[in-house]
Amino acid sequence: MTAEVLKYTLEQVEALELAPGAEHENLEGWVPTLANDEDLRQALDKAFDYRGDVTLTLKNGERGEAPEKIEAYIFNRHTGATLADSWVQYYSPNAPEKRKVSYAEIARIEFSGKDRAAGKHWEDWVKAYNEKKAAGEKGIALEPEALE
């Protein structure tokens, strides 16, 4: 929790009727401008929250030998005092193990993968259900997305 986040008092918490939901940013396809260290930190914070793959372009290639572009699902990050001691941890589609890369090595970020948390709103389901029901369909259901 960062210092600038609005905090609730206990009285406010206990009186809540409905929980304020999170704002969902449309980040798919975004390529943030990284003019300074703070831009990079903020972009990687968003990449950490993003439920899709991103493409990281490294300054010198990953550990000097890996391809310059990494497709990554970022699931963890550590923010140190400098970019050199800050890192993100990720899974790549073509590698079984967890990997880390330093903030200092990253030159470009592209939110290249599909945002898996976008859409699929309750209202969309209600609308689709009512339409299918009116059309006389049976066995109405949402199906999980294919894994291939």
Partner 1 sequence: MAVPISQMWTVATYVLKKKLAGNKRYPLVLMLEPLFRCNLACAGCGKVQYPPHILKKQLSPEECFAAVEECGAPMVSIPGGEPLLHPRIVEIVNGLVARKKYIYLCTNALELKRRLPEFTPSKYLTFSVHLDGQREHHDFSVCREGGYNIAVEGIKEAVKRGFRVTTNATFFDGTDPSSVRAFFDEVMDMGVEGIVLSPGYSYDKAPDQNRFLGRARVRRLFRAILSNRKPTWKFNMSPLFLEFLMGDRKYECTPWGSPAYNIFGWQRPCYLLQEGYAESFKELLETTQWEEYGVASGNPKCANCMVSCGYEPSAVIEGFGSLKGFWGIVRGTFSLYRDEHALKLLNEATPHGPANLVKIAASAEKTEPVLEETRA
Largest CA distance in the chain: 61
Residue 47 three-state SS: helix
- DSSP designation for 107: E
Minimum distance from residue 42 beta carbon to partner 1 (Å): 16
Nearer to partner 1, 47 or 77 (CB): 77
- Work out which of 15, 35, 134, 135 binds partner 1, going by CB under 8 A: 15
Residues of this chain, 71-130, that bind partner 1 according to CB under 8 A: 73, 75-78, 89, 91-93, 96, 98, 113-114, 116-126, 129
Q: Which helix (H) or strand (E) holds 56?
A: strand 54-58
Give the interface size with partner 1 as a residue count (CB under 8 A): 60
Query: What number of CA atoms fall less than 13 Å from residue 79's CA on the CB side?
Result: 10
In Å, how far from its chain's centre is CA 103? 17
Minimum distance from residue 136 beta carbon to partner 1 (Å): 13
- Classify residue 70 by burial, with Cβ atoms within 10 Å: 0-12, 13-18, 19+: buried
Task: Say whether residue 21 binds partner 1 (CB under 8 A).
Answer: yes
Q: Which stretch binds partner 1 (CB under 8 A): 26-34, 39-47, 55-63, 70-78?
A: 70-78
The CA distance from 81 to 30, in Å, is: 26
Nearer to partner 1, 59 or 121 (CB): 121
Footprint on this chain of partner 1 (rule: CB under 8 A): 1, 5-10, 12-22, 24, 48-49, 51-53, 73, 75-78, 89, 91-93, 96, 98, 113-114, 116-126, 129, 138-148
